[in-house]
């Protein structure tokens, strides 16, 4: 069997080739922000894997979804010598030969070197494992990581001396300069391992987070690990700017004395059972400084779990993809709605690559013509298991391994939701969608689920959702797209927990760019559209009575009556007593749906002054829909061939005697 080639792998992993013929890429096993996986092909065709973070080759091959035989011609049992060659037999260096502006050596409990963290001038970090004889090898090479400054930590705990846990070796050294004991885990925030907990049995521990979200989340994770094991104090240092730490705090002029005062006045974290119900008081809630709601799309798509409803084939996927492109590039969605730029993953489960490519080509061309850059942080996947059958685990692994992705679109929910053959549908949907919502909260991501509506329309659009109310009740935000077949215009309705004022927006589909564009408030657009429909009926030059107009438009009689009264009062039409309404041809503002038209009542520039028609000022119509004309007004009306005398009587122009 032919071994997998390096070129094939480099295409899959988007790797960059080096001068020695190998290539580097992001490791698929761990949370890799910088390329740390080196892959090289031996002369016999075998692939040699080396992850500088220490990931095992067997795990890398599993993550790549390939077999041993894809990478090696031999049988599985013949592989292990090459595994040792790839991971262990690597070039060694002295400490002086390794380039870096700071080098931090980690030791075991007895003080023997285990690993070294090296910081470069670009603030990148690399790990090396100790090879003996003062030599170091790149990567951990299968060795388990240890805590920094471990012997001092063990001695401090033994002698009841408090230990500070910080984020980064530099901060540990800062504390050491103050004659304090500190420690940190290697490889940064989020990398605390339960294996470290055993060193803190009955210890006094002070947690000092970096002043940013990852730092606080990291210390929160450490706190959860050590609750019930150690006595904990959690201190956010005052006066820090964003991303600063205890080293910055000390450099700003603070001393050991100020730090000790903070430790003294800080209450210990209560030892709680993770299953206990946690409470907080109203005053605590009011005093807490919480970040505002983050909007992925301004005013209509907040962070969290959202649901986009609509009939099949009306443009939900196009709308979702418009959101995806705009959010990935940080440009406006729906023409003028601001977005929050972040990495996006689109699960196009109903599509194949050809259809997906056909769609994106037009959209991307439109972006290029508009001067926008093609986003490089928008990714696609065409497959996902049912959420109840492994799909949820797939999502969790992906989110944990790709922290740059903060917005996920699943198109559609029906493809990943296993329908229940028995049991309570509401409870099943609540449990499933509730688990997805909890995933959004705990992993700090947002997910948009696309879903179909029922065939029968309900009075409340939320109830149009196919399935039980367990779906709509568990999501944070609901959007519903509605439009008639063969029409470009549609209505987008928005409601949710963070939507203070529910919205109804009119949007229009652009066939050229395959994108949705905002028209404005749906009610104003609807009124403008209905006014145009009435005017279109009257364009035949004949008078039409209210019932005839209502029947032709298939609308409510009273609604048409009110609309005609408004158009009459604004001078667009007039009522001939006994004949019906006619179009006022002297009024040139015929395109009422054009927002630029000053006669459009939805145009804010329209002064809405009282309109004169044919020189006659119109008062409020009588209940019988007749028009009262001013005395001695004998001008010709808009009815061809008829004139009006001083008694408001109509007569033929042939009876008029020229003066």
Of 28, 101, 36, 98, nearest to 64 (Cα)? Answer: 28
Of 33, 66, 35, nearest to 50 (Cα)? Answer: 35
Q: For position 300, which CATH number holds?
A: 3.40.50.300
190 with 212, same domain: the answer is yes
Q: For position 575, which CATH number holds?
A: 1.10.10.10
Structural domain contains residue 286: no
- Give yes or no for residue 457 having a pLDDT over 50: yes
DSSP string, 463-527: GGBSS-HHHHHH-SEEEEEE--TT-SEEEEEEEETT-SS-EEEEEEEETTTTEEEEEEEHHHHHH
509 with 532, same domain: the answer is no
- The string of pLDDT tens digits covering residues 9-44 is 777 777 777 756 677 888 888 877 778 888 887 766
Of 85, 97, 89, 137, nearest to 116 (Cα)? Answer: 137
Q: How confident is the model at residue 570 (pLDDT cuts 50, 70, 90)?
A: confident
506 backbone dihedrals φ, ψ, rounded to 5°:
-95, 125
Tell me the two tokens of residue 300. 């209509």
pLDDT score for 348: 94
CA 533 to mean position of chain CA atoms:
39
Run of H or E residues at 329: helix 316-329
72 with 129, same domain: the answer is no
Out of 81-85, 387-391, 583-587, the most confident range is: 387-391
100 with 168, same domain: the answer is no
- Give yes or no for residue 247 having a pLDDT over 90: yes
**Last residue within a domain, chosen from 457, 486, 513:** 513
- The string of pLDDT tens digits covering residues 535-560 is 889 988 889 999 999 999 988 898 88
Question: Alpha-carbon distance 656 to 659, whole Å?
Answer: 9
Length of the chain: 659
Q: What is the 3-state secondary structure (H, E, C) of 40-100?
A: EECCCCCEEEEECCCCCHHHHHHHCCCCHHHHCCCCHHHCHHHHHHHHCCCCEEEHHHCCC
Residues of the domain holding 78: 6-89
370 with 481, same domain: the answer is yes
348 with 482, same domain: the answer is yes
Contact indicator for 517, 527 with CB cutoff of 8 Å: no
Contact indicator for 179, 256 with CB cutoff of 8 Å: yes
* Strand, coil or helix: 551: helix
The label of the residue with tokens 């209450």 reads 267
Structural domain contains residue 283: no
201 with 109, same domain: the answer is no
316 with 188, same domain: the answer is no
Question: Alpha-carbon distance 447 to 388, whole Å?
Answer: 17
**Last residue within a domain, chosen from 72, 89, 106:** 89
List residues bridging with 451 in a β-sheet. Answer: 309
Q: For position 170, which CATH number holds?
A: 3.40.1360.10
- Give yes or no for residue 273 having a pLDDT over 80: no
84 with 107, same domain: the answer is no
12 with 70, same domain: the answer is yes
378 with 447, same domain: the answer is yes
pLDDT score for 525: 74
Structural domain contains residue 323: yes
If one counts the domains in the chain, the total is: 5
Structural domain contains residue 289: no
Contact indicator for 566, 534 with CB cutoff of 8 Å: no
347 with 404, same domain: the answer is yes
């Amino acid at each position: 069997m032919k071994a997998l080639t390096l070129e094939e792998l480099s295409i899959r992993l988007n790797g960059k080739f080096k001068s020695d013929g190998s290539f580097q890429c992001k490791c698929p096993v761990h949370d890799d922000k910088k390329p740390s996986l080196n892959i090289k092909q031996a002369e016999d065709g075998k692939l040699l894997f080396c992850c500088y973070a220490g990931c095992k080759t067997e795990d890398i091959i599993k993550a790549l979804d390939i077999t041993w035989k894809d990478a090696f011609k031999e049988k599985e049992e013949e592989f292990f010598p090459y595994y040792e060659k790839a991971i262990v037999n690597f070039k060694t260096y002295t400490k002086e030969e390794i380039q870096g502006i700071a080098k931090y050596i980690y030791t075991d409990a007895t003080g023997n070197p285990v690993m070294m963290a090296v910081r470069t001038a670009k603030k990148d970090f690399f790990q090396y494992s100790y090879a003996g004889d003062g030599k170091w090898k790149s990567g951990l090479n299968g060795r388990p990581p240890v805590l920094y400054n471990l012997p001092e930590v063990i001695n401090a705990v033994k002698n009841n001396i408090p230990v500070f846990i910080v984020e980064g070796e530099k901060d540990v050294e800062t504390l050491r300069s103050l004659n304090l004991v500190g420690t940190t885990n290697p490889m940064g925030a989020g990398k605390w391992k339960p294996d470290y907990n055993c060193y803190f049995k009955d210890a006094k521990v002070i947690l000092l987070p970096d002043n940013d979200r990852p730092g606080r989340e990291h210390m929160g994770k450490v706190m959860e690990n050590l609750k019930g094991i150690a006595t904990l104090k959690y201190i956010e240092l005052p006066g820090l700017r964003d991303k600063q730490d205890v080293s910055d705090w000390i450099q700003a002029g603070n001393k050991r004395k100020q730090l000790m005062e903070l430790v003294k006045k800080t209450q210990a974290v209560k030892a709680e059972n993770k299953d206990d119900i946690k409470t907080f008081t109203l005053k605590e809630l009011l005093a807490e400084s919480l970040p505002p709601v983050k909007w992925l799309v301004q005013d209509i798509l907040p962070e969290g779990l959202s649901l986009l409803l609509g009939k099949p084939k009306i443009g939900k996927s196009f709308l979702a993809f418009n959101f995806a492109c705009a959010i990935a590039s940080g440009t406006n969605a729906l023409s003028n709605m601001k977005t929050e730029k972040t990495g996006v993953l689109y699960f196009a489960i109903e599509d194949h690559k050809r259809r997906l490519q056909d769609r994106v080509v037009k959209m991307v061309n439109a972006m290029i013509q508009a001067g926008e850059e093609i986003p490089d942080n928008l990714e696609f996947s065409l497959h996902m298991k049912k959420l109840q059958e492994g799909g949820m685990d797939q999502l969790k692994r992906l989110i944990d391994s790709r922290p740059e992705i903060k917005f996920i679109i699943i198109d559609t929910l029906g493809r990943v939701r296993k329908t229940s053959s028995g049991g309570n549908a509401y409870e099943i949907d609540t449990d499933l969608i509730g688990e997805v919502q909890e995933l959004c909260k705990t992993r700090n991501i947002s997910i948009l689920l696309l879903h179909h509506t029922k065939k029968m329309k309900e009075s409340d659009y939320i109830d149009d959702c196919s399935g039980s109310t367990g779906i709509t009740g568990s999501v944070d935000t609901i959007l519903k797209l509605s439009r008639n077949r063969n029409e470009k215009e549609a209505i987008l309705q928005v409601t949710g927990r963070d939507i203070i004022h529910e919205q109804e927006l009119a949007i229009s589909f652009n066939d050229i760019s395959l994108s949705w564009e905002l028209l404005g408030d749906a009610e104003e657009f609807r009124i403008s559209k209905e006014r145009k429909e009435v005017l279109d009926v009257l364009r035949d030059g004949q008078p039409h009575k209210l019932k005839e107009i209502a029947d032709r438009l298939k609308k409510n009689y009273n609604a048409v009556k009110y609309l005609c009264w408004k158009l009459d009062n604004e001078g667009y039409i007039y009522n001939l007593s006994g004949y019906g309404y006619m179009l006022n041809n002297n009024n040139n503002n015929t395109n009422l749906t054009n927002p630029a038209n000053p006669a459009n009542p939805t145009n804010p520039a329209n002064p809405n002054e009282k309109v004169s028609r044919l020189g006659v000022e119109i008062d409020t119509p009588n209940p019988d829909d007749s028009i009262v004309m001013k005395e001695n007004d004998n001008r010709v009306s808009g009815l061809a061939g008829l004139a009006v005398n001083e008694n408001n009587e109509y007569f033929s122009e042939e009876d008029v005697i020229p003066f």
